[in-house]
Structure 1
Amino acid sequence: MGGGRGSRLYPLTKDRCKPAVPLASNYRLVDIPISNCLNSGINQIFVLTQFNTASLHKHIQQTYKFDGFGRGFVDILAAEQTGDKESWYQGTADAVRQNLHHYNLRDDDLVLILSGDQLYRMDLEELARQHIENAADITIAAKAMPSDQVSALGVMRVNPDLRIVEFVEKPKDPAVISSLVLGGAARARLSDKSERPYCLASMGIYLFSGKVMREALADHSQTDFGKEVIPGLLASKRMMAYVFDGYWEDIGTVGSFWECNLTLTDPVPPFDFFDDQNPVYTHSRYLPPAKLNGARSRRVLMADGAIVDDSDLERCVIGVRSVIRGGSRLENVVMMGADVFERPHDLARNHGLGRPDIGVGANCLIRNAIIDKNARIGAGCRLSPQGLPEKWETDALFVRDGVIVVKKGAIVPPGTVVGE
């Protein structure tokens, strides 16, 4: 599913949809669910899109190409108006419903619904195996979360055999949360063997049989899986939980996106991009290696094509074709890079137009920031969110969740000082 507006990720989603947002210097968010599918032997994939989808479409078309013998595909199904309907996708369930005629579903087919904005690695073949062994109509992947962290999540109560018996959306009452705490054999499955109480939160990952999928979507007034369709089927369908005990992060806000990227610079990060048995696939760009001209770095991820002059980098994620000029210091910065290398004639044109070159200019100090693609930051700038109110905004900058964002393609004039 890649159709949401992603308003909580603004301004990163101003010109692109959530699944197209760059991740970990080399990838895009959509690469995670697609890679999980391919590594699990699933190669017939539909991507449902609606808002700001041009860059997502380009990325998928350039990346996921299959030979003609494996019958695999990654097809894009964009929202469309037809002679029969004039509305766009009204929710996750409505998006799937509007495209039912494309799937050619048989009753015994299995249909897996994934979100396009989560970071995790899951064996989806194991999920399907449990679904079949339990003779389930619907299986929902669930993450065990500490009970004091579930007030903003959809929480489920399960029987000892993991059959789901109740859903509670965003519980706030401590007594209700206490009643949802995992126990018995289900609690014993978790790797944390302490006495800490856990609840099962829905990950928004659903597995249906083809027949149940059609039945579930028959009521056109129900437009969302999590809020309407799934709770409405609880009494009539055999609904099971698949307990996932690995790393999972819902990258739905600017703050979570920024922190999730920076945790990847840890000596042993919570998500392993170096797992050659379960690789994360992305577009092959055929770029030259990164080039460091005297730079000093500590805990840095750096993509191909980056050029860093004599600068200091601490806890940074540096994207493809990034350019950081001498004398600059970056701390806790996610820099997404650029779409092109600027050649000498481009630099001469920039000079004539009086605008900075793409990248970070000389002698800048940037802290706690996200620098979106193709941004131009002039020499001598000082950028920090410190002291600025939430949602403070200019044409080039935006503050959200304690992070200052340099917008995509923005121009920050030389000598700009923002924050403390």
Structure 2
Amino acid sequence: MDEKRATAFGLMKIDEEGRIIEFAEKPKGDQLKAMKVDTTILGLDDERAKEMPFIASMGIYVISKNVMLDLLHEKFPGANDFGSEVIPGATSIGMRVQAYLYDGYWEDIGTIEAFYNANLGITKKPVPDFSFYDRSSPIYTQPRYLPPSKMLDADITDSVIGEGCVIK
């Protein structure tokens, strides 16, 4: 992640094996500078690594059930937040916590404005921020059986319209 956006996220510092050694929630100033890492360790090329020297948490964790129960019930029973309490706590007691570089499309949609802007981004011309129609990266979802969308006296541009909608 670049420096401009990094202050809005929980950041991870990693060692040369990609192991998380530090976690800082929305750092600024000197604390932000201290969270810079060599992101080539996780697979970025030299040029992109210079542009994106921070590793932000997406809030997605892969963890075994037994380890999760141990962390939540035994090690950190008073914790309220996984990213800012449990992950840093696990690293502080010597647990092996690894980072994984996801270098595809991702947006934080934690506010109404961010959710709205992310949805508008899929209508951008000539190339949207994310395409649901890329054959090399199919999207799988639970099928729903809704009626087709219906447009009644409507002028529509730059839109994605889901099944079962009535546009008046």
* Superposition TM-score tier, normalisation by shorter sequence: 0.7 to 0.9
Stretches of structure 2 lacking an aligned partner (at least 5 in a row): none
Stretches of structure 1 lacking an aligned partner (at least 5 in a row): 1-144, 288-303, 325-420
Q: 2:33 aligns with which of 169, 175, 178?
A: 178
Aligned counterpart, 2:128: 269
Q: Per-residue deviation at 1:244? A: 0.7
Normalising to structure 2: TM-score of the pair? 0.82
Aligned: 1:168 with 2:24: yes
Aligned counterpart, 1:255: 113
Aligned counterpart, 1:278: 138
What secondary structure is seen at the aligned counterpart in 1 of 2:47? coil
What secondary structure is seen at the aligned counterpart in 2 of 1:167? strand
Instruction: Report 1 or 2 for greater relative contact order, CA contacts < 8 Å, sequence distance ≥ 6.
Output: 2
Contact conserved, 1:273 with 1:280, CA < 8 A, in 2? Answer: no
Give the number of the structure whose residues are more often strand, by fraction.
1
Contact conserved, 2:39 with 2:52, CA < 8 A, in 1? Answer: no
Moved over 6 A (4+): none
Aligned counterpart, 2:84: 227
Alpha-carbon distance in structure 2 between the residues aligned to 1:164 and 1:274? 35
Greater Rg by CA? 1
Alpha-carbon distance in structure 1 between the residues aligned to 2:150 and 2:107? 27
Q: 1:314 aligns with which of 154, 157, 167?
A: 157
Alpha-carbon distance in structure 2 between the residues aligned to 1:155 and 1:259? 23
Q: Per-residue deviation at 1:192? A: 7.7
Alpha-carbon distance in structure 1 between the residues aligned to 2:97 and 2:146? 46
Alpha-carbon distance in structure 2 between the residues aligned to 1:253 and 1:228? 22
Contact conserved, 1:160 with 1:184, CA < 8 A, in 2? Answer: no
Contact conserved, 2:40 with 2:46, CA < 8 A, in 1? Answer: no
Q: Per-residue deviation at 1:275? A: 3.8
Give the alignment of 1:16-165 within 5 angstroms: 145-165=1-21
Q: Per-residue deviation at 1:257? A: 1.4
Q: Per-residue deviation at 1:231? A: 1.3
Contact conserved, 1:164 with 1:240, CA < 8 A, in 2? Answer: yes
Q: Per-residue deviation at 1:159? A: 0.9
Instruction: Give a deviation string over 1:14-40, Cα, whole Å, max 9, x none.
Output: xxxxxxxxxxxxxxxxxxxxxxxxxxx
Contact conserved, 1:306 with 1:318, CA < 8 A, in 2? Answer: no
Query: Aligned letter for 1:227?
Result: S
Give the number of the structure whose residues are more often helix, by fraction.
2
Contact conserved, 2:71 with 2:86, CA < 8 A, in 1? Answer: yes
Aligned counterpart, 1:209: 64
Report the number of matched residues: 161
Alpha-carbon distance in structure 1 between the residues aligned to 2:77 and 2:133? 44
Query: Aligned letter for 1:250?
Result: D
Alpha-carbon distance in structure 1 between the residues aligned to 2:117 and 2:46? 23
User: Percent sequence identity over matched residues?
Assistant: 37
Query: Aligned letter for 1:155?
Result: L
Instruction: Give a deviation string over 1:381-405, Cα, whole Å, max 9, x none.
Output: xxxxxxxxxxxxxxxxxxxxxxxxx
Give the alignment of 1:320-335 within 5 angstroms: 320-324=164-168
Instruction: Give a deviation string over 1:257-286, Cα, whole Å, max 9, x none.
Output: 111111111333232212456323144224
Alpha-carbon distance in structure 2 between the residues aligned to 1:313 and 1:192? 43
Query: Aligned letter for 2:14?
Result: V
Q: Per-residue deviation at 1:166? A: 0.6
Alpha-carbon distance in structure 2 between the residues aligned to 1:185 and 1:282? 36
